[in-house]
Amino acid sequence: MVNVGVMGTGYVGLVHGAVLSSYGFRVTCMDVDKQKIERLNQGISPIYEPGLEELLQSGLRAGNLVFTASAQQVVQTSDVLFIAVGTPAKEDGSADLSYVWDVVQQIGKHINGHKVIVSKSTMPVGTSRSIAMYLDGMLRGTPYRAHVASNPEFLRQGKAVSDSLSPSRVVIGAESDEAVQMLKKVYATHLEQDVPFLFTNRETAEMIKYASNSFLAVKISFINELALLSEKVGAKIQDIATGMGMDDRISPHFLQAGPGYGGSCFPKDTQAIVDVGRKNGEELYVVRAAIAANEKQKAKMVSKIEETLSFDGTLKGRTVAVWGLTFKPDTDDIRYSPSYEIIQGLLGRGAAVKVYCPQGMKQAKLYWTDLNGRIQYCGSEAECSQQADAIVLMTEWEQFRAANWEKIARGMRGNAFFDMRNMFAGDASVLQWFKYYPVGASEYG
Ligand code: UGA
């Protein structure tokens, strides 16, 4: 049986490790954050992700999932090591690879046999090859070899466990038989399930990850631009997306107009691929346009609220209830969430802002420190809307469907409802209580 090591217990590492342990592998997950490791050993997940905690607990109970803060332990007990540390964006948009190199150094220092090293984090093109060259150098004069492969992850937050159990595809960038054979063993279950596999070189695998995320970002920005135009010309963006999606060359997916994309992936990865393009003398105009359109979208959402609610050209004296802080539902992640910029925009125009989010408030209080004391956190959507002039629904949490609309509407001072996700478009039982402002249509009666 293969012994698997995972370095980094963020979204990717933790979910990957937990899922592999559910297949019976002995998995050791390592992180430098000792407190996190302690909690993980008690079966407590540091992130909110449906199904993850159950998986962690069953791996711990079965004894084939181990958490450690020791790099030596994970390196020396594993045949294959997945690098799953963060690659956040630097100020200039390029990817910060310092965590990756910390881990690579630890691998080189503690290596005690032949190992397959797999880049699982999103890493700029050429990183896996650089890691291989670096480790080759470090291992010169020893009997050991490191076979470096790239195996990007395509899971979505909120659906991370189910995406890992049944991925859309497995992409393996490997240039040695040892690496290919090892990854075939690790993904034996997926091979049996007929999940599509693509074997290629390392640079291509790295590019596939950036290309996929950038393409999805382009799709969203495209539909968002058309949504803005639709509002002006009397068209309905949801019907446009449906009509376009009927062509299977286009597909209906990722054509949901909204307040702009957020999260820890699209904003960072689009910037990073533009940076890689520039460093290689190729300007990526399409991706750059998607980034610019996304910024415009967030700003437009604020102007729309302002134009509708303002008196005397400002929002002074207006109270806005923001529902949803996370960048998407079923996660507690608020990184690059459009909610942040929309709240900033509303505050900047003088509005009082109350917020409610089923999972995002703890993180917001911790990380959006500049908002502390300037916004009011509430315990429910109903409390948030009390005496508000408008609701601004930013994240499509399912629980919002069960809201008591009559009670909410009667508790408000105004009756504007900006639905940035078109969650209630066409739902008369909700719309009867409000003046409804969807995205990408002047009305949805
Ligand atoms: C994204 C990709 O979908 C995953 O395949 C990839 O593995 C992941 O990044 C990653 O690189 O780790 P994620 O960031 O979890 O996953 O979330 P998405 O579901 O892709 O949504 C991203 C943003 O786009 C959200 O703010 C969402 O609200 C927005 N979005 C998505 C839209 O505005 N419209 C859509 O039609 C779809």
How many structural domains comprise the chain? 2
Degrees (nearest 5) of the Cα angle 210, 88, 276?
40
The answer to whether the beta carbons of residues 350 and 314 sit under 8 Å apart is: yes
Nearest atom in ligand 1 to the alpha carbon of residue 258 is: 33
Of 25, 28, 21, which is closest to residue 54 (Cα–Cα)?
21
Query: Which residue's alpha carbon is at the smallest distance from atom 8 of ligand 1?
Result: 156
Is the domain of 323 the same as that of 359? Answer: yes
- 26 beta partners: 3
**Local confidence band at 93 (pLDDT 50, 70, 90 cut-offs):** confident
Q: How far is the CA of 265 from the centre of ligand 1 (A)?
A: 7
User: In the annotation, is 378 catalytic?
Assistant: no
Looking at the structure, tell me whether residues 185 and 223 fall in a common domain: no
Give just the sign of the alpha carbon dihedral 332, 94, 121, 222: positive
> pLDDT tens for residues 367-422?
999 999 999 999 999 999 999 999 999 999 999 999 999 999 999 999 999 999 99
Spatial CB neighbours of 218, under 8 Å, sequence gap ≥ 6 = 286, 287, 289, 290
Atom of ligand 1 nearest to the CA of 333: 15
Both tokens of 322, joined, read: 């923001």
- Report the separation in Å between the CA atom of 140 and the middle of ligand 1, taken as the mean of its atom positions: 42
What sign does the dihedral 150-154-157-163 (CA atoms) show?
Answer: negative
Average pLDDT over residues 278-294: 97
Identify the CA nearest to 353 among candidates 366, 362, 340, 363. Answer: 340
Catalytic residue chosen out of the listed positions 265, 357, 378, 384 = 265
CA of 143 to the centre of ligand 1 (A): 44
- How far, in Å, CA of 331 to CA of 47, rounded? 8
Residue ending a domain, choose from 200, 223, 255: 200
Q: Which amino acid is at 354?
A: K
pLDDT band with cut points at 50, 70 and 90 for residue 443? low
Identify the domain containing residue 279 by its residue range: 214-438
- Contact between 277 and 283 under an 8 Å Cβ cutoff? The reply is yes
* pLDDT at 242 (0 to 100): 97
Q: How confident is the model at residue 445 (pLDDT cuts 50, 70, 90)?
A: very low
Expressed in angstroms and rounded, the spacing between residue 261 Cα and the centre of ligand 1 is: 7
Give the atom of ligand 1 at the shortest distance from the alpha carbon of 337. 26
From the CA of 135, how far away is ligand 1's center (Å)? 34
Nearest ligand 1 atom to the CA of 153 is 7
Asked if residue 439 has pLDDT above 50, the reply is yes
Q: Which of 200, 223, 256 is the last residue of a domain?
A: 200
> What per-residue string of b and e applies to 371-410 under the rule 16 or more CB within 10 Å gives b?
beeebebbeebbebbeebbbbbbbbbbeebeebebeebbe
Residue nearest to atom 16 of ligand 1 (CA): 156
Assess if residue 253 is contained within a domain: yes
Q: Which of 158, 178, 200 is the last residue of a domain?
A: 200
Q: Which residues pair with 171 in a beta bridge?
A: 198
| Residue listed under structure tokens 């949805």 | 444
For residue 275, being part of any structural domain is answered with yes
At 25, list the tokens. Answer: 């592998």
The reply to whether 207 falls in a domain is no
In a domain, 52, yes or no: yes
pLDDT digits (tens, 9 = 90+) for 220-264: 999 999 999 999 999 999 999 999 999 999 999 999 999 999 999
Residue 205 lies in a domain: no
What integer best gives the mean pLDDT of the chain?
96
Residue 32 CB partners (closer than 8 Å, separation 6+): 69, 102
Q: Whole-model pTM?
A: 0.95
Q: Is 263 in the pocket of ligand 1 (CB under 6 A)?
A: yes
Shared domain check, 303 and 326: yes
Cβ of 156 below 6 Å from ligand 1: yes
Residue 257 sits in the same domain as residue 385 = yes
Q: Are the C-beta atoms of 380 and 388 separated by less than 8 Å?
A: no
- Same domain, yes or no, for 239 and 375? yes
The CA distance from 306 to 315, in Å, is 7
Residue 209 maps to a domain: no
Sign of CA dihedral 127, 66, 166, 181: positive
Give the 3-state secondary structure of 174-240: CCCHHHHHHHHHHCHHHHHCCCCEEEECHHHHHHHHHHHHHHHHHHHHHHHHHHHHHHHHCCCHHHH
Q: Tell me which H or E stretch contains 172.
A: strand 170-173
- CB of 329 within 6 A of ligand 1: the answer is no
Residues 8 and 112 in one domain: yes
What pLDDT is attached to residue 312? 82
Average pLDDT over residues 353-376: 97
The closest residue, in CA terms, to atom 23 on ligand 1 is 261
How far is ligand 1, taken at its centre, from the CA of residue 218, in Å? 12
Find the CATH number of the domain harbouring 261: 3.40.50.720
Does the C-beta of 155 come closer than 6 Å to ligand 1?
A: yes
Is the pLDDT at 444 greater than 90? The verdict is: no
Q: Are residues 65 and 110 in the same domain?
A: yes
Same domain flag for 99 and 222 = no
Q: Does the Cβ of 397 fall within 6 Å of ligand 1?
A: no
Both tokens of residue 352?
């009082």
Query: Domain check: are 264 and 300 in the same one?
Result: yes
Q: Is residue 56 part of a domain?
A: yes
* Ligand 1 atom 12 nearest Cα: 265
- How far is the C-alpha of 228 from the C-alpha of 15, rounded, in Å? 37
CB 256 near ligand 1, within 6 Å? yes
- Does residue 373 share a domain with residue 260? yes
Distance 220 CA to ligand 1 centre (A): 9
Instruction: For residues 75-103, give the mean pLDDT.
Output: 95
pLDDT tens track for 148-174: 999 999 999 999 999 999 999 999 999
Share of the chain above pLDDT 90, in %: 97
Same domain, 328 and 415: yes
CA distance 42 to 60: 8
Whether residue 163 sits in one domain with residue 51: yes
Residue in the structure block whose two tokens are 């797999």: 118
In this prediction, residues 274-289 reach a mean pLDDT of 97
Say if ligand 1 is within 6 A of residue 213 CB: yes
Q: Please indicate whether residue 153, judged by its CB atom, sits closer than 6 Å to ligand 1.
A: yes
3 state SS of 83: strand
Backbone angles phi, psi at 263, to 5 degrees: 100, 180
- Interface confidence (ipTM) of the complex: 0.99
Residue 131 has pLDDT above 80, yes or no: yes
Question: Does 74 fall in a domain?
Answer: yes
Q: Which residue has the tokens 């791996």?
A: 59
CA neighbor of 26 nearest in space, from 164, 186, 174: 186
